[in-house]
Amino acid sequence: MTSTALIEPAWMTTFERLLQRCGVQPGDTVALLSETQTRADLIECLRHACARLQTQAFQITMPTVADPRTPLIRSTGASTALAGNAAVVQALASCSLVIDCTVEGLMHAPELPAILKGNGTSQPRVIYISHEHPEGLSRLQADDDLEALVKAHSKRLRATKVMKVRSAAGTDLQIALEGAPSGGNWGTTTKPGTMTHFPGGLVLAFPKAGSVNGKLVLGVGDVNLAFKRYIEQPITLSIENDHITRIEGTGVDAQLMRDYWAAWAEMEGHQAAYAVSHVGYGLNRAARFDSMAMFDKRDFNGTELRCAAGSFLYSTGANETAGRYTLGHFDLPMRHCTVSLDDEIVVQDGKLAT
């Protein structure tokens, strides 16, 4: 997985601008958190960007953890690289900024709250750099327009009681969102004690238990990001009280998903992997849904597809709001959906309506 590609000046400029939008100042203490399977080109780009901005940067590299007893884990946002190491957590908590270059990211990692809390005199902010090729990341720089758009849709989502999602393929979902934590990400943060990820351009919510019912139809060209596959034959998922209760489809895509879900249920002894994690839609007009076809799997993590303008994202797996915990996770970006918030359409047939 580790890349040995030569870096390009434009990639370094991308990360320099990113850090500037995160409020990095000369003399700031910046931690580059990596693991043994982190892409070398990401670290090199960021190291040069930190040097250009005259920060006090240092790198911590943790061993990549692999557990042969579990199914393979991809795209979870719950890195196991820190492994509860208190000394490392303390070092990260003392920084101005932590640049998270772990493969899976710290978004749902158990050590994140302690890092964001700080050490009493310093409170860091954390930015996760999506673990993919810098060429793809360089097209998706944050700007003022994207930040304003995400903030506006985040406000609308927080006020929503019911999200409805429909499509010509047969999707018909009703999602109760009243009281559900929700928010948005535009790819940068300047506020201490917060975390974001780059690229950005996405709003999402974590529904409470028993909030999602209906049918989700993955059509041809929709995406399973855990497998890094475009769907080639339709899959119909029946959802009752958050949980997928039926998986209909005759192709290899459906079979692979059945097997993966069943593996987590058997290992964990519960059905949490079948349940909803979060739902949302993309707002980044620079993101392309066809980009996954241009990269090898090891060079692509798929954040671009999650945040592509007009895409709908349905994810299964861990949901702290609903009290469910699992390492099984699917991110399923979908095209051609119509999304409404309290009957006001925000996405029409896969295109942003507002």
Q: What share of the chain is helix, strand, coil (3-state, %, to 5)?
A: 25, 30, 45
Q: What is the pLDDT along the chain (354 residues), one digit of tens a residue?
A: 444 568 889 999 999 999 999 999 999 999 999 999 999 999 999 999 999 999 999 999 999 987 777 777 766 667 888 888 999 999 999 999 999 999 988 888 889 999 999 998 889 999 999 999 999 999 898 899 999 999 999 999 999 999 999 999 999 999 999 999 999 999 999 999 999 999 999 999 999 999 999 999 999 999 999 999 999 999 999 999 999 999 999 999 999 999 999 999 999 999 999 999 999 999 999 999 999 999 999 899 999 999 999 999 999 998 989 999 888 899 999 999 999 999 999 999 999 997
Length of the chain: 354
DSSP 208: P
End-to-end CA distance of the chain: 40
* CA torsion through residues 78, 140, 229, 317, sign: positive
Q: Is the whole-model pTM more than 0.75?
A: yes
Domains of the chain are 9-137 (3.40.50.2300), 144-184+200-352 (no CATH)
Burial class (CB in 10 A: 0-12, 13-18, 19+), 325: middle
CA distance 62 to 104: 13
Number of Cβ within a 10 Å radius of residue 114: 16
The residues near 73 (Cβ < 8 Å, ≥ 6 apart) are 104, 327, 329
Task: Indicate the pairing of strand 97-100 with strand 29-35.
Answer: parallel
- Residue 126, SS3 per DSSP: strand
CA distance 194 to 133: 25
Which string of DSSP letters, residue by residue, matches 26-93? TT-EEEEEEETTS-HHHHHHHHHHHHHTT-EEEEEEEPPP--TTS----S-S---SSTT-HHHHHHHH
CA distance 153 to 308: 14
pLDDT the model gives residue 3: 45
CA distance 339 to 279: 11
Give the torsion through C-alpha atoms of 37, 40, 41, 46, to 10 deg: 100
